[in-house]
């Protein structure tokens, strides 16, 4: 998606060789017009899949997932991230490392929000090692819902998350692919 590439070059910064800072576009301030544009692009790519719900993880996935769900005319469910040790009997819970926070959190989705009748599209902002995605996909598996695919705004292809999902046969669509953040430079594929 050329528009997103251009906006990343203009407004993102490289925090380290691993981490891209997108605070002006997605992760703190949200460019709502850009988020809507990304939502329309994901809706176009997955439009033939009879999606019944879009699912994401709070908080940074929500704007793009909202835009996608709105365009498709379906509800949005977001997994909550909690730092709790309490089991929740009415929820599916998976423990995952949080890439940028250096901590482990639980992803939590109430059981009544997903069912085997659902066909889900999982949308997220960035994929790195794929821990968040694998956790959410385990929850989707427990619910019995079908996963139609994964839409990611920014895939860092020098980390393994996207590749590992594709190797499992999951359809992964990313809007931009970053091959390297070395030497403070953003190199697209």
Q: Which residues bind ligand 5GP (CB under 6 A)?
A: 19-22, 27, 60, 99-100, 124-133, 161
Beta bridge partners of 106: 82, 95
Query: In whole angstroms, what is the distance from residue 49 CA to residue 76 CA?
Result: 16
As measured in angstroms, the least distance from the Cβ of 89 to ligand 5GP is 26
CB-nearer residue toward ligand 5GP: 53 or 162:
162
CB-nearer residue toward ligand 5GP: 58 or 88:
58
- What per-residue string of b and e applies to 34-52 under the rule 16 or more CB within 10 Å gives b? bbbbbbebbbebbeeeebb
Beta bridge partners of 126: 154
CB-nearer residue toward ligand 5GP: 91 or 133:
133
Residue 109 CB partners (closer than 8 Å, separation 6+) = 55, 77, 79, 80, 91, 92, 139, 143
CB 161 within 8 A of CB 128: yes
Q: What is the 3-state secondary structure (H, E, C) of 4-71?
A: HHHHHHHHCEECCCCCEECHHHHHCCCCHHHHHHHHHHHHHHHHHHCCCEEEEECCCCHHHHHHHHHH
CB-nearer residue toward ligand 5GP: 74 or 162:
162
As measured in angstroms, the least distance from the Cβ of 116 to ligand 5GP is 26
As measured in angstroms, the least distance from the Cβ of 76 to ligand 5GP is 16
As measured in angstroms, the least distance from the Cβ of 129 to ligand 5GP is 4
As measured in angstroms, the least distance from the Cβ of 101 to ligand 5GP is 8
* First and final C-alpha spacing in the chain: 12
CB-nearer residue toward ligand 5GP: 11 or 111:
11
As measured in angstroms, the least distance from the Cβ of 97 to ligand 5GP is 7
CB-nearer residue toward ligand 5GP: 59 or 115:
59
């Amino acid at each position: 998606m050329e528009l997103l590439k251009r906006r990343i070059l203009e407004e993102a910064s490289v925090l380290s060789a691993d981490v891209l800072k997108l605070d002006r576009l997605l992760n703190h301030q949200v460019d709502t017009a850009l988020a809507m544009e990304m939502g329309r692009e994901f809706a176009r790519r997955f439009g033939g899949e009879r999606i019944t719900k879009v699912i994401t993880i709070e908080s940074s996935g929500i704007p793009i997932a909202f835009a996608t769900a709105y365009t498709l005319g379906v509800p949005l469910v977001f997994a909550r991230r909690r730092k709790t040790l309490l089991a929740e009997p009415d929820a599916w819970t998976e423990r995952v490392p949080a890439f940028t926070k250096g901590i482990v959190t639980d992803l939590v989705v109430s059981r009544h929000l997903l069912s085997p009748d659902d066909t889900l599209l999982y949308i997220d902002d960035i994929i790195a090692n794929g821990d968040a995605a694998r956790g959410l996909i385990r929850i989707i598996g427990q619910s019995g819902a079908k996963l139609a695919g994964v839409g990611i705004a920014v895939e860092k292809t020098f980390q393994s998350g996207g590749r590992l999902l594709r190797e499992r046969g999951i359809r992964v669509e990313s809007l931009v692919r970053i091959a390297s953040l070395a030497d403070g430079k953003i190199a697209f594929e």
